[in-house]
A = this chain, B = another copy of it.
Amino acid sequence: MPEFFHVITADSLVQLLARFARLPSEFKPIDHALDRVLYESVLATEQLPEWPRSTVDGFAVRAEDTFGASDSIPALLDCADSVRMGTMPDFSIKAGQAAPIPTGGFLPQGADAVVMVEYTNTAGIDSIEVMRPVTAKTNVLDRGEDAKPGEVLLIPGKRLRSQEIGFLAALGIAEVIVYRQPRVAVISTGDEIVPLENKPRMGQVRDANGHSLCALVRNSGAEPVSFDIVPDNAAMLYEVLEKALEQTDVVTISGGSSVGARDLMVEVVSRLPGVEVLAHGVAIRPGKPTLLANQAGKAIFGLPGHPVSALVVAQAFLAPFLRYLQGDKLEKGPRGYRSKALLATSMHSTIGLEEFVRVRLERRAEMDWAHPVFGKSGMLSTMVKADGVVIIPMNVEGFSKGEVVEVIEI
In the complex, A347 has a CB within 8 A of chain B = no
Beta-carbon contact of A257 and B162 below 8 Å: no
Q: Is A364's beta carbon under 8 Å from chain B?
A: no
Query: Which of A70-78, A277-285, A303-311, A400-408 lies at the binding interface?
Result: A303-311
A86 partner, pick from B49, B191, B337, beta carbons under 8 A: B191
A172-B203 in contact (CB<8A): no
Interface residues on A, range: 35 or more
A87 to B50, CA, bound (A): 74
Residues on the B chain within 8 Å of A209, using CB: 166
Q: Is the CB of B169 within 8 A of A197?
A: no
Stretch of A11-19, A100-108, A236-244, A267-275 contacting B (4+ beta carbons < 8 Å): A100-108
A298 contacts partner chain B, Cβ-Cβ < 8 Å: no
A126-134, A177-185, A379-387 - interface stretch? A379-387
Contact A203 B86 (CB under 8 A): yes
CA distance in complex: A88, B386 (Å)? 32
Judge if A391 is at the interface, Cβ distance under 8 Å. Answer: no
**A8 beta carbon closer than 8 Å to chain B:** no
Residue interface bits A184-199, CB-to-B below 8 A is 1, else 0: 0000001111001101
Contact B104 A165 (CB under 8 A): no
- Which residues of chain B come closer than 8 Å to A258, judged between CB atoms? 57, 85, 102-105
A window 291-350: CB within 8 A of B: 305-307, 311, 314-315, 337
| Cβ contacts A to B, 13 pairs, < 8 Å | A30-B211, A34-B219, A55-B377, A57-B258, A85-B203, A102-B258, A103-B305, A104-B305, A146-B379, A163-B383, A166-B209, A168-B211, A169-B196
Beyond A86-B193, A103-B259, 12 extra complex contacts between A and B, CB < 8 Å: A49-B205, A50-B202, A87-B203, A102-B261, A104-B192, A105-B258, A162-B314, A166-B311, A167-B208, A169-B196, A172-B206, A174-B197
